[in-house]
Structure 1
Amino acid sequence: MEAIPLTEKRILILCTANSARSQMAEGLLRDMAGSRFEIHSAGSEPSTVNPYAIRVMEAAGIDISDHRSKHLEEYLQTPFDIVITVCDKAAETCPVFPGPAERIHWGFPDPAAVEGTDAEKMAAFSRVRDAIRDRLTTWLETN
């Protein structure tokens, strides 16, 4: 009897610009979960990946320098098992995706909104990265 292959769950992580929170969440989840999931991220108003997000992820040993901001329209016809919004605006405007996607909302503050010195901005991005990692750690215990 042949073994039935396990199907990985398809996950989409959304925030408004797909520049910081969703990019960090995508990088962290890929690192933490390995090949358990097919992971994507997108935004309703994509811009570019924030250099501070790249730097704090690099400090955590995760390279997201080759990531690009993607518009959620790229995925509107893609069935997802789980859609995670990581900012309140994305949760409010999240479209309906085909299939029975489970919706999860984790509202994290926008580190890009922090003004100040380079060190203060790095600290803000690091705090959000760590909060996302903590939430993912807890979530992965049951998924």
Structure 2
Amino acid sequence: MVVRPPIKVLFLCTGNSARSVMAEALLNVLGEGRFQAFSAGSFPSGAVQPIAAELARAFDYAAPLRSKSWDEFAGPHAPAIDIVITVCDNAAGEVCPIWPGQPVSAHWGVPDPAGVQGSDAQRRSAFQSAWAMLRQRIEQLLALPLETLDRTALQQALRDIGKVESA
């Protein structure tokens, strides 16, 4: 039996406070060791949104979540990333650093729950909707036949996942 190293996925968002950290938690749990997920932001807020952290904990994600700069993943000592996925439209339009490992990339736009104004129930609903959309897309990623996809096919499959609307 050949033991393969986990596929390293970096989720990017501008503030790295909600969508990207939720995606990190989801993939690390659902990926069951096949994947190692990280998250970062181009202009990190410095804090994880409390509702995002609460959803991750309720999903049995025990690792500490923190808002961090994408610079942590661009330096010489950074892990070689296999896949980079932007989850906000602002980050998708920014000039990204050169990532070690020459990863494939895709954009999975998800509405920003942190920007929702209103009651606590309305804000929680926005976070739960973003969580559900991210989970659906991550489950599609997990269903891909990664062993048989070449680089071009993987990139296209990842981009196609980002175009699917939530059910």
Structure-2 change in CA distance of 1:65 and 1:5 (3 Å): closer
SS at match of 1:73: helix
Aligned alpha-carbon RMSD (Å): 1.7
Partner Cα distance (1:136, 1:75) in 2:
21
Within 5 Å, which residues of 2 pair with 1:25-40? 25-40=23-38
* 1:139 to 1:65, Cα distance in 2 relative to 1, 3 A: closer
Partner of 1:67: 65
Provide the C-alpha distance between the structure 2 equivalents of 1:117 and 1:65, rounded to a whole number of angstroms.
Answer: 29
Matches within 5 A, 1:106-125: 106-125=108-127
What are structure 1's unaligned runs of at least 5 residues?
Answer: none
Give the drift of 1:4: 4.6
Q: Would you say 1:10 and 2:8 are equivalent positions?
A: yes
State how far apart, in whole Å, the 2-side matches of 1:43 and 1:100 are.
Answer: 18
Which stretch has the larger CA shift, 13-22 or 78-87? 78-87
- 1:57 CA drift (Å): 3.1
SS of residue matched to 1:56: helix
Question: In structure 2, what is the equivalent of residue 88 of structure 1?
Answer: 89
Q: Partner residue of 2:48?
A: 49
Q: More relative contact order in 1 or in 2 (CA 8 Å, sep 6+)?
A: 1
Output the TM-score relative to the length of structure 2.
Answer: 0.77
- 2:71·2:97 contact (CA, 8 Å) conserved in 1? no
Aligned pair 1:138/2:137, yes or no? no
Residue 11 of structure 1 aligns to a residue in which SS? strand
Report percent identity of matched pairs: 43
Q: Secondary structure at the match of 1:122?
A: helix
